[in-house]
Amino acid sequence: MTHNISRRRFLQLSALTGGALAFGELAANVLGSAPGNPLAYAAEPIKIGMLDPLSSPYKTSSIHDVHGANVAVDLFNKNGGVLGRPVAILEADDASNPDTAVKVATKFIKEDRVDFLMGTFNGDCALAVSALAQKENKLFMVTGAHLPELTGVACNSHTFVFMPNARMMTEAVAPHLVKAYGTRWYMITASTLDGKSAAQAMVDAAQTHKVEFVGEAVVPFGSTDFGPALTAAKAKNPTVVILNLYGWDLVNALKGYAKLELAKEKIGVGGMVSGEQIGRPLGYASNAGIWGLIWDPKINTESSKRFIQAVIDKYNHTPTSRCYLGYAAMTQILEAVQRAGTTDTAAVIKALEGHEFDGLKEGKSLFRASDHQHVQDVLVGEAFGKELGLGHYKILATVRGDSNPGAVEQRNCKL
């Protein structure tokens, strides 16, 4: 039953046990407490439980996922919410730990009564929450995890994956790594499910390019000193070092690459994924290499420009690709609710399946009905040690989703 709620009650409902309102001071306006504001809601909020690794080596980029989602929610609430209801985000830290991820997701479902779940970056966290979401009949939108298994052997009817998977990323970037640096590759890989997945996808993508892998160093998640691994790589005389890392691991590895001046030894660097979220904490002067990119602020579409401006207006910085993932994924959840005319899980899943949408990129975006993978453009960028217009990656290629060998349907998915 719908009913009018006070501002205090709304804040309690929308920020239970540490959850944060998605739109701060806007809450007063949507509840009609600001003089002259025409918006007034007569229903409880639609709640999205968002979990991300906010205290792990991925924390620098993961806060941007939350920022992007907040911007999307602001825009919906400024236009009357969704189905006449305000939208609120509850945030939690999964700490890159699958047990913690399940614990906070369970709290979201059982205590906070969220309508939907979204987020995660670590693959093992995404797998654990995906299984829970199916059991508890909740839609789960994976924003950052890239494990192909999420839309392959471990797929399920309640999980959608917004992030390009590892195969999509590596198939896009591998030919450019070969062209720029040659075919003697050494890999440095994080000792995590994500690192191993990236390494395997890179090996698979390199096969058609006759790459010789001359060695691999596996390093603990959260490493700060990459000197020994890079020194071991140098001893193998590679033409390029492939970094199957992310977050602060990738930042610290690139710092080590610059410190050892491996570029002067004609040893290149690159890997599956990077972006502004890595370049900024690293420092532009230390950034280098060729990388797969999820999104870039130089994408010249009207929707991308609107997104960029909205992030600048709220956070006073140009968005990163993690901002993009949070914003665009949240937008698709809320637009699906609008199309379905309800927050019912089954109806919203049906509204997402096979849906083609504006993914803020040049090519089309769609959620493939057979496995719930977001099929989309993947960019390839070369890092520059200075600003290059918006951001500091020179875009070498845009690989469309429908032509990416890594985006083919995974036949082992049984929804």
- The 10s digit of each residue's pLDDT in 393-409 is 999 999 999 999 999 99
Pull the structure tokens for residue 50: 């968002």
Residues 182 and 269 placed together within one structural domain of the fold:
yes
Q: Assess if residue 1 is contained within a domain.
A: no
Q: Assess if residue 413 is contained within a domain.
A: no
Residues 303 and 256 placed together within one structural domain of the fold:
no
Residues 52 and 88 placed together within one structural domain of the fold:
yes
Closest CA to 376 of 165, 233, 117, 213: 165
Instruction: Please compute the mean of the pLDDT values over residues 221-240 and round it to a whole number.
Output: 98
Residues 114 and 138 placed together within one structural domain of the fold:
yes
Residues 274 and 341 placed together within one structural domain of the fold:
no
Residues 34 and 110 placed together within one structural domain of the fold:
yes
Q: Which residues contact 71 (CB under 8 A, 6 or more apart)?
A: 307, 310, 311, 314, 315, 323, 326, 327
Residues 137 and 247 placed together within one structural domain of the fold:
no
Pull the structure tokens for residue 368: 């493939």
Q: Assess if residue 60 is contained within a domain.
A: yes
Pull the structure tokens for residue 265: 């030894």
Q: Assess if residue 414 is contained within a domain.
A: no
Residues 231 and 208 placed together within one structural domain of the fold:
yes
d(CA 260, CA 263): 9
Residues 327 and 280 placed together within one structural domain of the fold:
no
User: DSSP readout, 111-122?
Assistant: TS--SEEEE--S
Residues 108 and 89 placed together within one structural domain of the fold:
yes
Residues of the domain holding 387: 167-293+378-407
Q: Assess if residue 250 is contained within a domain.
A: yes
29-49 pLDDT, tens digit each = 333 333 334 355 558 999 999
* pTM of the shown model: 0.89
- Using only the alpha carbons of the chain, give its radius of gyration: 21
257-316 pLDDT, tens digit each = 999 999 999 999 999 999 999 988 888 788 999 999 999 999 999 999 999 999 999 999
Band of the pLDDT at 391, cuts 50, 70, 90?
confident
**For residue 212, what is the domain's CATH number?**
3.40.50.2300
Residues 329 and 238 placed together within one structural domain of the fold:
no
Q: Assess if residue 415 is contained within a domain.
A: no
d(CA 222, CA 247): 9
In the chain, how many domains are there? Answer: 2
Q: Assess if residue 412 is contained within a domain.
A: no
Residues 144 and 198 placed together within one structural domain of the fold:
no
